[in-house]
Amino acid sequence: MGLRDKASKIDFASLTSGAALSPDTKQPKTAPGAMMAFANDARSDLLRENEELRVAAARAAGLEAQLGEVVEDLRAWDGAKATRLLDPASITRSRYANRHESSFDGEEFDRLKREIQEAGGNVQPIKVRPSSGKVADGEVYEIVFGHRRHEACRQLGLPVLAVVDNLDDRSLFVEMERENRERQDLSPWEQGMMYARALDLGLFPSNKQLAAALGIDHSNVGKSLALARLPDTVVGAFRSPLDIQLRWAPLLNKALETDAQGVLARAQALALKAPRPSAKDVLAALVSGQEGLGVQARPHALQVAGKKAATLTFDADGRATIRIHLPLADAKRQQLQELLEEFMSAL
């Protein structure tokens, strides 16, 4: 069949159906011309669709880049906890709380209150965890750390800025201890009470495991616990338990081991004195039985042939001072030095 015969069988009406032709549109006069016009129209449609796809692809690429930036920004906040303002009445002290009531009195606490009042609230948030209790207005929270900031806001009638986190008891204890240790505003006695409470409640099976969990020296844990385990009568001899120093623990415990009845009797008498003696005077009275000697206890005279040859003095912290009143030859000086070195190596 020839080209003319094939062209005669094409239904050109169907090829142009649906497209209204204006009177000015010139219709192809031959079959090849009609085929060429149809091909041009199809090519135009393909070009238009291709351009639309290209624009859509460019838009998608731009959105993907923006999404990548957003994801990168979110990664910077990974693990961050949002803060919220809470009613102080909905927050309770933790049973592991390490703050003595006297921590909420005095110039230092008053200064903290003034700072919070001037700022309109605590700028540094406290940390709490949801508690099992409920109140009429909602949940009750338990303090992880920030007891003084919470108390200051409560007294001022201000909401407390807080981070809410879900923590178990051990995690709460570790975070509380580390936060306070970094701030360095807990007294040795408060620290010891915190350690004692954690051990008594079974958070840690031993002093060593507690020290390992907190990353602190085991001997310091022992000294802090020694202060916390002091009889209430001994603690009450001081104006405040916050005045008791860590290095006094061995002295007080040794005095209790050798003369518990005398130490307790002296402690009761000191608690009744007005005005109350200084902390160092109380220590000196408890460990040596000497009152009103200030920092130093009564000196001890060493005699040779009935004459005072040297004086030995211990201060309230147990530090020793030796004064030899006789001139020493070089050989004696060397001998004294060796004796002291041998003594110090045994400490």
**Of 216, 269, 203, the residue nearest 246 (C-alpha):** 216
Per-residue pLDDT tens digits for 50-99 = 778 888 887 887 777 777 776 666 565 455 577 889 999 999 888 877 66
How far is 88 from 82, CA to CA, in rounded Å? 18
Helix (H) or strand (E) holding 282: helix 279-288
**Of 304, 225, 230, the residue nearest 260 (C-alpha):** 230
In percent, the amount of the chain with pLDDT more than 90 equals 27
Per-residue pLDDT tens digits for 114-124 = 999 999 999 99
Checking if the pLDDT of 17 tops 80, the result is: no
Give mean pLDDT, residues 301-318.
Answer: 75
Mapping DSSP to helix (H, G, I), strand (E, B) and coil, where does residue 318 land? coil
Give mean pLDDT, residues 214-236.
Answer: 91
Domains, the chain, in order of start with CATH, read 83-251 (3.90.1530.10), 252-347 (no CATH)
pTM: 0.52
Give mean pLDDT, residues 318-343.
Answer: 83
Name the residue with tokens 């509380």.
176
Residue 122 to residues 114, 138, 151, 207: CA-CA distances in angstroms? 11, 22, 11, 35
Average pLDDT, whole number, for the chain? 80
What is the reported pLDDT for 50? 76
